[in-house]
Amino acid sequence: MANGGTVETTYLGAIREALQEEMRADESVFMLGEDIGAYGGAFKVTEGFLDEFGPDRVIDTPISEAAIVGAAIGAAHMGLKPVAEMQFIDFIAPAFDMIVNFAAKSRYRTGIGAGLVIRGPCGAGSRSGPFHSQSVESYFANVPGLKMIAPARAYDAKGLLRAAIRDPDPVLFFEHKFLYRRIKEQLPVDEEVFVPVGKARTHREGADLTIVTYGAMVYKSADASDRISSEDGAEVEVIDLRTLRPLDTGAIVDSVKRTGRLLVVHEAPRFGGFAGEITAQVCEEAFEWLDAPIRRVTAIDTPVPYAPTLEDYYLPGEDDIVAAARWLLAY
Amino acid sequence: MRTLYRFLWLTRALEERLETIFKQGHVVGGLYRSLGQEATAVGCGYALAHGDWIAPSIRDLGALLARGVQPRDVLRQYTARGSSLCAGKDNTNHFTIPELGILGPISPLGTQLCVLNGVALSFRTRREPHVCLTFQGDGASRTGTSHEGLAMAAALNLPIVVVLEHNRWAFGTPSTAVAAVENWADVAGAYGVPAVTVDGNDVLQVYDAATQAIARARAGDGMTLVVAETYRMLGHAQHDAQKYVPEHELSEWEDHDPIQSFSDYLIEFGFESASTLERIRSDVAAHLDAAADEVLAEEHPPAEEARTRVYGDPELDADVPWSRGPVPGYEGLTSGWRGRPAAGLEGA
């Protein structure tokens, strides 16, 4: 229900609205993927889309992720704006060749870009085991030409997906499935929700320690920061990256120069994760402002396990973030 | 007829010219010949209409020439000129030219079919009467993307023609050793599409089969697999002397050279005179002389161009401009070892 110009919207609903609004505004926008048409999508993101937009714009495909991404590239070359759905982001693996060798290198090699969006549910916490829970951003982090987005808020999910669809480059859009129905926000009804690619946001202000994070870990980091505030009296600044590539190094460095302490938190495994890159960049650009070593709180270096005990251990917890933050504050 | 002959001869003469400049050291990297397979490429490329798209394999230079690619642009590609279609950033025939309907392949094979499906999809969405055609060797047809691309094209009934060039060799391995397929037209059955097999060294047979398959796709009746029986007469690339190829196979196929047999046919049945064909060959040679002179006088791109054109927004290309130079604010630190500190860190 509309309430003072806003309406309560879930993270999933925000994604759905972004797709709908872009498809209504521009008939070159279309979707392709598995079970997105008649079935309405595994998570019902596209329910009703087939009726509204027709089979030319909501295309059910074979279970062929490489062919899905390939078709998106070809359509993009022809001036269409494809949004390809990976039913779970784990299934992006069969499309790896198409993404890293074709889409990402296309503009550099030929001068013809591939403006397309590949979106899908990522992330653990829903007891779904090793193949329905992964965070895949680091697989693609070393590939110039790609952009990557991982929103935490419904507002950003909507605003950034709209920006991604209009972007001239291939964008991987990671939707955290744990947030799909848990996050509800009041989104404006009449005003346009649009968030530019490549800009981090400050989720929580603080002067004593910077936490850089993204996706579902924004909420755990914020909860941990509230605890530090009430129990220790220190104020932690939480930076929500929103876009992973291009990385908003400026926002990270600005915050670290004010707080002198950095903790990077992410849900992906530790080795080769984004935290390593962020650490290196801060060392290059703000070494002399650091009052403590940089620390990382991440998943452990294993596949995502299935049993609740194992998965809870695998994921970074609020306690882990609090402990690392206290260590840094005490250093 | 003489146009077909011209493209066949141009393909061979251009590749021979490339081989000459390869031996002179002008070619950067590898050189891939299509000797013996020219008729398949030319016949297919020539059968397409304006507005149609084609995605070649590495041995389909003739198709590109028949679609309007200029020999000097091919020379520029192989010599990594800044003026090349890929601006020196990629090699061989990896260029895309939307105005000519050409989608460049990449080295992981089968991928171009997946992408061409998207081009075909755009034709269908926009109700445009165009068709796409692509090639895959018997070797490339074994990749996952080849299978996925065929499955998608067939499932969505896309206006596509896939030409399977059965040239018997996948790099250094005979296709019989790595595929259990005997009759390559059988492959089409797995995807529920029709197939036709032609003598790939007979340019007229290829042209006819391609024309029919293209007409079928244009009419909305979907994909056809055209199997072209042919033979790769040279190694995988210039560095490969193909000692593994049985002599008798080469001599048998040499007797069935696509250009010689077409030339014999044209003269025997009175379509063209020997002198006309000779004039075509000398025109081609003169054209290639001029093109090679022009291209060899050109330069490689300036080194800093390596940074450009990664993203649509040039600002993003200069991500960390100082990654190859002094860090701003610390320019003085580019040289001058200050010596090991007198006291260890433990004293600090």
Ordered DSSP codes for B236-262: SSTT---TTS-HHHHHHHHTT-HHHHH
The percent of residues above 90 in pLDDT, for chain A, comes to 98
- Give a yes or no: residue B131 inside a domain: yes
Q: Residue B215 — very low, low, confident or very high, per pLDDT cuts 50/70/90?
A: very high
Q: What is the largest CA-CA distance in chain A?
A: 60
As a whole number, mean pLDDT of residues B179-202 equals: 97
Q: Which of A132, A176, A203, A266 is catalytic?
A: A132
Q: Which residues face A100 on adjacent strands?
A: none
The residue from A156, A188, A220 where one domain ends is A188
Q: Residue A267 — very low, low, confident or very high, per pLDDT cuts 50/70/90?
A: very high
A30 and A148 part of one domain: yes
Q: What is the mean pLDDT of chain B?
A: 94
Is the pLDDT at B318 greater than 80? The verdict is: no
A252 and A156 part of one domain: no
A101 to B111: CB separation less than 8 angstroms, yes or no: yes
Edge-to-edge, what's the strand order for the sheet holding B132-137?
B53-55, B132-137, B160-166, B224-229, B195-199
B122 to A169: CB separation less than 8 angstroms, yes or no: no
- Give a yes or no: residue B343 inside a domain: no
**Domain that includes residue A97, residue range:** 9-188
Contact residues on chain A for B121, CB-CB shorter than 8 A: 59, 71, 74-75, 80
Q: Where are the beta strands (DSSP E) in chain A?
A: 2-3, 6-10, 29-33, 58-60, 81-85, 117-122, 147-149, 171-176, 184-188, 201-204, 209-213, 236-240, 243-245, 262-269, 295-299
Nearest to B149 among A65, A70, A147 (CB): A70
Is the pLDDT at B338 greater than 90? The verdict is: no
**Segment among A186-200, B173-187, B207-221, B326-340 with least mean pLDDT:** B326-340
Surface of B (156-175) touching A: CB under 8 A: 156
- Give a yes or no: residue A1 inside a domain: no
Q: Residue B344 — very low, low, confident or very high, per pLDDT cuts 50/70/90?
A: low
Residue of B nearest to A110 (CA): B86
As a whole number, mean pLDDT of residues B237-253 equals: 93
| pLDDT given for residue B337 in this prediction | 77
Tell which wins on pLDDT, A3 or B141.
B141
Peptide bond connecting A246 to the previous residue in cis, omega within 30 degrees of 0: yes
Q: Residue A216 maps to which CATH number?
A: 3.40.50.920
Is the pLDDT at B347 greater than 90? The verdict is: no
Contact residues on chain B for A73, CB-CB shorter than 8 A: 114-115, 118
Summarised one tens digit per residue, pLDDT across range A168-202 is: 999 999 999 999 999 999 999 989 999 999 999 99
pTM of the model: 0.96
A37 and A16 part of one domain: yes
Count of alpha carbons within 13 Å of B274, Cβ hemisphere only?
Answer: 3
* B140 interfacial to chain A (CB closer than 8 Å): no
Summarised one tens digit per residue, pLDDT across range B92-147 is: 999 999 999 999 999 999 999 999 999 999 999 999 999 999 999 999 999 999 99
Q: Which residue has the tokens 């260890």?
A: B344
Tell which wins on pLDDT, A92 or B346.
A92
As a whole number, mean pLDDT of residues B26-34 equals: 95
* B118 interfacial to chain A (CB closer than 8 Å): yes
A211 and A293 part of one domain: yes
| Residue (of B31, B17, B44) closest to B93 by Cα position | B31
As a whole number, mean pLDDT of residues A268-277 equals: 98
| pLDDT given for residue A1 in this prediction | 47
| pLDDT given for residue B326 in this prediction | 72
Handedness of CA A254, A257, A260, A264 (dihedral sign): positive
Is the pLDDT at B222 greater than 60? The verdict is: yes
Q: Residue B149 maps to which CATH number?
A: 3.40.50.970
Is the pLDDT at A280 greater than 70? The verdict is: yes
Q: In total, how many domains does chain A have?
A: 2
The DSSP output letter for A127 is S
Q: Residue B348 — very low, low, confident or very high, per pLDDT cuts 50/70/90?
A: very low
| pLDDT given for residue B229 in this prediction | 97
Q: Residue B341 — very low, low, confident or very high, per pLDDT cuts 50/70/90?
A: confident
Summarised one tens digit per residue, pLDDT across range B194-212 is: 999 999 999 999 999 999 9
A235 and A275 part of one domain: yes
Quick check: is A132 catalytic?
yes
A94 to B311: CB separation less than 8 angstroms, yes or no: no
User: Do B95 and B86 meet the contact criterion of CB atoms below 8 Å apart?
Assistant: yes
A233 and A97 part of one domain: no
Residue of B nearest to A84 (CA): B118
The residue from A138, A162, A188 where one domain ends is A188
Residue of B nearest to A56 (CA): B125
| pLDDT given for residue B343 in this prediction | 66
B114 to A67: CB separation less than 8 angstroms, yes or no: yes
How many Å apart are CA A248 and CA B63, to the nearest integer? 46
Mutate to test the interface with A, among B76, B103, B122 (most CBs of A within 10 A): B122
> What is the DSSP code string of A46-100?
TTTHHHHH-TTTEEE--S-HHHHHHHHHHHHHTT-EEEEEPSSGGGGGGGHIIII
Contact residues on chain B for A61, CB-CB shorter than 8 A: 152, 155-156
Nearest to B119 among A65, A74, A98 (CB): A74
Nearest to B118 among A62, A75, A94 (CB): A75
Contact residues on chain B for A98, CB-CB shorter than 8 A: 111, 114-115, 145
As a whole number, mean pLDDT of residues A231-249 equals: 97
As a whole number, mean pLDDT of residues A153-173 equals: 98
Summarised one tens digit per residue, pLDDT across range A291-303 is: 999 999 999 999 9
Is the pLDDT at A279 greater than 50? The verdict is: yes
Number of CB atoms found within 10 A of residue A195's CB: 22
Angle between helices B111-125 and B144-155 (to 10 degrees): 20
**Domain that includes residue B151, residue range:** 2-302
Summarised one tens digit per residue, pLDDT across range B272-313 is: 999 999 999 999 999 999 999 999 999 999 998 999 999 999
* B77 interfacial to chain A (CB closer than 8 Å): no
Q: Which helix (H) or strand (E) holds B276?
A: helix B274-296
Contact residues on chain A for B108, CB-CB shorter than 8 A: 97, 101
How many Å apart are CA A279 and CA A287, to the nearest integer? 10
